[in-house]
Amino acid sequence: MDNHPCFNIEVKDKYARVHLPIASKCNVQCNYCNRRYDCCNENRPGVSSMLLSPKQALYYLKVLSKKMPNISVVGIAGPGDPFAEPEITMETICLVKEKFPGKNICISTNGLNLFPYIDNLAENGLSHLTITINSIKSKTLAKLYRWIRYNKKVYRMEIGGEILLEQQLKSLKRARENRIFVKINTVICPGINDCEVEEIAKKVSSFGANMMNCIPLYPIENTEFASLSMPSKDDMKKIKLIISQYIPTMSHCVGCRADAAGLLGHNNTETKNFIEQVSLFTRIFSKKRNRVAVATNEGLLVNLHLGEAREVYIFEQSINGYSFVEKRPTPPKGSGVNRWEELANKILVDCQAILVAEIGENPMKIITQNGICVIQMNGLIETGLDVVYLRRKL
C-alpha cells in the first residue's frame, strides 16, 4: 500500500495511477449504470474514450510511463467488467507484469466471475483488488440489478442476487487467503440500499476485507435510477462514520473513469493528457491493422467473390461487439496485379484481415504477402469477425 494512491491517502499527490480500458463487456446490468464509449468530458466510473486490446494497452502504458514516470499502479476497471471476458484481462496482466514487474496491478470487478481466476491472479502479482458489493440481501440486489449472466445463463430477480452475492463473498475470502489487499466498493442508492450499509460493512469485515469505499450514486440518463437523488455530503459522512466502526474507510475517492490516468484529483489535466497519448498511439496502431474488411453484397453476410466486389465494408471491434466503420471502393478492374497491390497497400492499410466468399490465386498471394489474413467463408459477417478478434474456430 505504500505507493498505491487509492489505498494510501498520504501518497495521493506523489504517485500516479493509470486504468487500462480493455474490458469491453459486462456480465451484469446495474440499474444505475449506462456505459457509454466516447465520453471524454465525463468524470465518473464506467466510461472510457477508447477501448484497447491487450497489446495496445501495453504499448500505451510504455508511452505514458515515459511521460508520467511516477505511475505506481496499473489498474483495470472497465468500462465493462474485467471477467466478462477473462482471457483478455489475464493476457493484459501477464503482459504488464512481464514488462513492468515493479508496478502494482489492481483490478476492480463486480466479482461474479472472479473466483476461478484468483489463484492465477495472485501468481501473476495482483496486489490490490476491488469488489463492488451493494447489498447482502437478495431482495435488494433484485432492485439494483436488472440481470446477471453467469455460466452462460441469464438470471433475474432474487435468484440472480443470490448467485451474485455467493460468488462475491467466495471470491473475497479466496483473495484474502492469497494475501491480496481487498477493498469493497458500495454504491449508495437512496431508498434502495442506504439503510443496509452497516450490515454490508459487518459482513465484508468478517470475510477479511481490508477497506471499504462508499460511492454516492451518480444519477445517469436512460437508467432505472435516473430519477433518484444523489446522496448529500452529510448523508455520506454519516454513512462513512457508521462503517468505520467495523472496517477502515476510504475518504479520498474521486470516482475514476475506466481510462483515468495521472494523480488522483487532477482529472481535467490528466484526462486531457490521456486523450492526447491515446490519439498518438492509435495513429501508430492504425498502420498495424486493427480493422477487418468484408466482401459483402448487403453488409450482413460474407457472400461475394473479391474480384466481383465493387466496394468492401470495414468493421472494427467496439465496446458493444463490432461496429461498421465505412464502405471503401475497390480499385477498378483491368489493372492486373496493380489492382491487388493498391487494394492491399492503400484501401486495406488499416485492416488485419479480409473476409471473402471466394478469391483468386493472385490476389490471395499479394494480399497475404502484405500482412493481411484472408478468410474464405460464407455466412454472417459477425461469425467471421469472431474468428479474427476472438480467435474462434470457423
Q: Give the Cα separation of 371 and 344 in Å (integer).
A: 9
Same-domain pairing of 68 and 161: yes
Same-domain pairing of 272 and 298: no
The x, y and z cell numbers of residue 304, run together, are: 461475394
Give the total number of structural domains in the chain. 2
Which of these three, 267, 284, 301, is where a domain ends? 284
State residue 217's pLDDT score.
Answer: 84
Average pLDDT, the chain: 84
Q: Give the Cα separation of 73 and 52 in Å (integer).
A: 18
| Closest of 357, 383, 389 to residue 290, by C-alpha | 389
CATH number of the domain encompassing residue 378: 3.30.420.130
| pLDDT tens profile 51-101 | 777 887 888 888 888 878 888 788 888 788 999 889 989 999 999 998 888
Residue pair 302/379 in contact (Cβ under 8 Å)? The answer is: yes
Which of these three, 246, 268, 284, is where a domain ends? 284
Same-domain pairing of 329 and 264: no
State the residue range of the domain holding 42. Answer: 9-284
Residue pair 207/171 in contact (Cβ under 8 Å)? The answer is: no
pLDDT-derived band at 255, boundaries 50, 70, 90: low
| pLDDT tens profile 170-190 | 999 999 999 999 999 999 999
State residue 268's pLDDT score.
Answer: 45
Give 198 or 102, the one with higher predicted confidence. 198
- SS3 labels along 255-298: CCCCCCEECCCCHHHHHHHHHHHHHHHHHHHHCCCCEEEECCCC
Which of these three, 230, 262, 284, is where a domain ends? 284
pLDDT of 285 over the 60 cut: no
Residue 2 located in a structural domain: no
| pLDDT tens profile 3-57 | 676 776 666 667 878 888 888 788 998 888 875 544 444 455 656 666 777 887 8
Q: Quote the pTM value.
A: 0.67
State residue 169's pLDDT score.
Answer: 96
Same-domain pairing of 277 and 165: yes
| pLDDT tens profile 188-215 | 999 999 899 999 999 999 999 999 999 8
